[in-house]
Amino acid sequence: MTDFPVPILLANAPAAVHAKLTTGDDIRICSDETTQVPAEVVSYDSTANTGEVYAKLDPLGGSNVTFYMYFGNSSASLPANDSTYGRENVWKSGYQGVWHAETLDDSTSNGRDLTAQNGASLDSTAGAVGNKRLKFLDGNSRFSFSTSIALSGVFTLSMYINNNGPADGINLFGGSAGANDLFFQRASATAERLRMGTGYAAQYIDLDNVWSWLVIRRHSNNYIYAWRDNVAEETPTFATTNSITVSQMGDSTYNPTWDMDGFFDEVRLTTTQESDDWRTAEFNSLSANDTFLSWGAVEQNAGGFSRIIYVN
């Protein structure tokens, strides 16, 4: 795989790393001892010793991939978001939006920052990955973004979801008008049927009351596939050529009963058909970051400190 955004969850870092970190602004990632790569420091909490960092590594595959994290320069500041090594370049072409839920910012260059509406909020309670989460209240709360996204061909949506179970549907993304929704229509207390606009994908998934890593992918044959915690759901039996244009998360303008009651975290939407290897690496790197990565010894350098990190 190329251009994979590797998460580095600093809660797993050894104490020697936290002893030299203050704000996280001095974190730099290199693919070897000198070659810097784009990185995003989403958050760092020096009191709790937690943090979320992403680095674009190329290539990534197999085992024994080694990279370096530099830190300990108290005078350093983060690169500009749109600079060569800034956060926007972590996320390759095709990403329409990346929302980590530590803020309402979109990490890509598309500028699709979120606006909370109708009771939706950035909740300061730990999510599936970080220290916060996107919170929805039953009754048409939503997060909107100003530049809509057209889903007319292949796409991949990956996200953590924890749903409290509204009566009729679970909306993931919706449009400002018309049947422009990607959602699950409630069939029973333990089964939600995936739909896109007026088309059906036919999978039934139980998403209630627990964090699940959800991946939805439309292939070039127009069949829509779904995985929960990297396990494939039912084989799709319908292809849908429907195109939808979305501009909000968690609510349907077309049918107000298709809403969201619960939480999202680490939402990513790309208009590419990502591979099974990519899907598996996303899941493993987020759900078991402490085994996906291992940490080497701290070394002192002229400008601070470094730590070798291995992708297992």
User: What pLDDT is recorded for position 75?
Assistant: 87
User: What pLDDT is recorded for position 201?
Assistant: 65
Q: How many CB atoms lie within 10 A of CB 275?
A: 12
Of 42, 77, 84, the C-alpha closest to 268 is 42
Per DSSP, helices labelled H in the chain are: 15-18, 276-287, 289-292
User: What pLDDT is recorded for position 167?
Assistant: 61
What is the Cα Rg of the chain in Å? Answer: 20
User: What pLDDT is recorded for position 277?
Assistant: 94
Q: For residue range 187-226, list pLDDT tens digits in order.
A: 766 667 788 887 766 666 777 788 999 999 999 999 889 9
Burial of 153 (0-12, 13-18, 19+ CB in 10 A): middle
What are the structural domains, with CATH classification, of the chain? 4-89+289-311 (no CATH), 95-271 (2.60.120.200)
**Total residues found in the chain within this entry:** 312
> In Å, what is the CA distance from 168 to each residue of 176, 259, 260, 304?
20, 8, 10, 55
- Helix, strand or coil for residue 221? coil
User: What pLDDT is recorded for position 203?
Assistant: 62
Hey, what are 66's tokens?
């080694």
User: What pLDDT is recorded for position 297?
Assistant: 82
Low-confidence ranges of the chain (pLDDT < 70): 61-63, 165-168, 188-191, 200-204, 237, 302-303
User: What pLDDT is recorded for position 41?
Assistant: 98
